[in-house]
Amino acid sequence: MTQDPPVTIDDIEAARDRVEECGVVKRTPFDRSTSLEAMTGADRVVLKCEHLQWTGSFKTRGAYNKIDRCLEARDLDRVVAASAGNHAQGVALAATTLGVESTIVMPKTAPQTKIDATRGYGGTVELVGHDFQEATEYARDLVGEPGVEFVHAFDDPAIVAGQGTLGLEMCEDVPEVDTVVVPIGGGGLISGIATAFADRSPETRVVGVQAAGAETVLDSLDKGAPQTLESVDTIADGIATGGISELTLSIMDHHVDEIVTVTNDEIARAVLVLLERSKQLVEGAGAAAVAAMRSDALEVDGERVVALLCGGNLDMTMLRTILVHALAQRKQILRVRVRIDDRPGKMADISGIIAEYGANIQTVRHDRALEELDVGDAYLIFQVETSGAEHAAQIVDAIESGGYDATVVN
Radius of gyration of the chain (CA): 25
Task: Average the pLDDT over 344-366 and give the result.
Answer: 95
State the Cα angle at 140 between 134 and 144, rounded to 5°.
160
Buried b (16+ CB within 10 A) or exposed e, 118-155: beebbbebeebbebbbebbebbeebeeeeebbbbbbbb
Structural element, H or E, at residue 207: strand 205-211
Task: Report pTM.
Answer: 0.90
Least Cα distance to 121 among 74, 156, 150, 83 occurs for 83
CB distance 12 to 192 below 8 Å: yes
Q: Tell me: pLDDT of 74 over 90.
A: no
53 vs 21 pLDDT, higher one: 53
pLDDT at 1: 43
Q: Tell me: pLDDT of 80 over 70.
A: yes
Structural class in CATH, domain 59-150: alpha beta
DSSP output for 364-376: EEEE---TTSPTT
CA distance 213 to 344: 49
Amino acid identity of residue 333, one-letter, is I
Sequence-distant contacts of 68-75: CB under 8 A, at least 24 apart? 68/18, 68/22, 68/94, 68/98, 69/18, 69/158, 70/149, 71/98, 71/100, 75/147
What CATH number does the domain located at 9-56+159-325 have?
3.40.50.1100
pLDDT at 394: 97
Convert the pLDDT of each residue in 299-354 to its tens digit. Answer: 999 999 999 999 999 988 889 998 888 889 889 999 999 999 999 999 999 999 99
Looking at every residue in the chain, the average pLDDT score rounds to 94
Convert the pLDDT of each residue in 113-166 to its tens digit. Answer: 889 999 999 999 999 998 888 899 999 999 988 899 999 999 999 999 999 999
Give residues with Cβ within 8 angstroms of 155, minimum separation 6. Answer: 186, 188, 245, 246, 247, 248
Q: Do domains 59-150 and 330-408 have the same CATH topology?
A: no
Q: What is the torsional sign of CA 272, 275, 280, 282?
A: positive
Residue count of the chain: 410
pLDDT at 2: 52
Give residues with Cβ within 8 angstroms of 158, minimum separation 6. Answer: 11, 15, 62, 65, 66, 69
CA distance 84 to 114: 8
Domain ranges of the chain: 9-56+159-325, 59-150, 330-408
Convert the pLDDT of each residue in 191-235 to its tens digit. Answer: 999 999 999 999 999 999 999 999 999 999 999 999 999 889 999
In terms of DSSP bridges, do strands 377-385 and 333-341 run parallel, antiparallel, or are they unpaired? antiparallel
Fold of 330-408: Alpha-Beta Plaits (3.30.70)
